[in-house]
Structure 1
């Protein structure tokens, strides 16, 4: 199957809650873990907290009658610099400023293993970010994550590293930024 066999659709937070079981299934498949396991349960808890955040948006990809991938995120609120907390090297005060409409967090982008490498991730990425009105987008990855070269090839630039919070999967995360609108 090719990207031409995939249907993309935008969803708001209320619609996303109804899709949570399917999202968890895609997440588990993408990571090669059990759908009811600890990693998927942590994803579920993280995700549910985001559905009502300002600027939340989800784009799904369906192919062959099932959900094959998704991307979602939310807008950083005005004055909230927690996202940037402790980033090194320390950026300028202007860089850290959040207005409530400046930065969209690309929180998750997942594609079933059988669909990876076929352009689904890029199509989801571009559909989600192409619909945004913010100035920029940001995302966090584990240090040396395999996806980092992919993000860089899509125009993202690494701006620094932040320490992880207690209980996080990684002890530190690399932060990336992409200026919007997205152009290919």
Structure 2
């Protein structure tokens, strides 16, 4: 494997990288027969662009000599976001309390298909989370993505439940995972 470099980017830098991020995203998912990949990529572009206004947004990219091979981005979870609305099973008291700097959302992590299975995603994950100040991280996943869930759990994430998708969401429900970023952080 060639030597990768990792770069951190603030929200102001991302518009210049958005086309490249969309290319990585499209490549990471590949072509699915019967699916218009431009629809999925444009939906990603909309999510990625909207995330730039989030509190404490950060992007981490992985580069080789040919350009960006993967990326991860996220932001601090705002109390009014409703991230935990409808969480089933019902969590312990205080679990869903957000302060605006308690939890970081790992919103996207994508790696070009040629680089998948080579540890790039895990390195991006660790690079991103290692630079965060929140006490815990959360992410949402497709409920049918059992292999992805196993990967996350292997990286230390804990499945905490399922929430219903919002109107217009890609899935009707999402699995929520949590990872403590500080020793002693209670998960449930």
Q: TM-score, normalised by structure 1?
A: 0.92
Inter-partner Cα distance in structure 2 for 1:12 and 1:70: 13
Change (3 A) 1:181 1:16: farther
User: How far 1:45 moved relative to its partner?
Assistant: 0.5
Tell me, yes or no, if the aligned pair for 1:87 and 1:162 is still in contact at 8 Å: yes
Counterpart for residue 63 of structure 2 = 62
Counterpart for residue 126 of structure 1 = 126
For residues 129-151 of structure 1, what are the alpha-carbon distances to aligned partners after superposition, in whole Å with 9 as ceiling and x for unaligned? 00000000000001131311110
Inter-partner Cα distance in structure 1 for 2:81 and 2:168: 20
Q: CA RMSD in A?
A: 1.7
Q: What runs of 5+ residues in structure 1 fail to find an aligned partner?
A: none
Counterpart for residue 161 of structure 1 = 162
Matched, 1:13 2:11: yes
Tell me, yes or no, if the aligned pair for 1:130 and 1:181 is still in contact at 8 Å: no
Inter-partner Cα distance in structure 1 for 2:40 and 2:168: 12
Inter-partner Cα distance in structure 2 for 1:36 and 1:152: 28
User: How far 1:181 moved relative to its partner?
Assistant: 4.2
Q: What runs of 5+ residues in structure 2 fail to find an aligned partner?
A: 184-188
Matched, 1:26 2:24: yes
Moved segments of 4+, more than 2 Å: 33-36
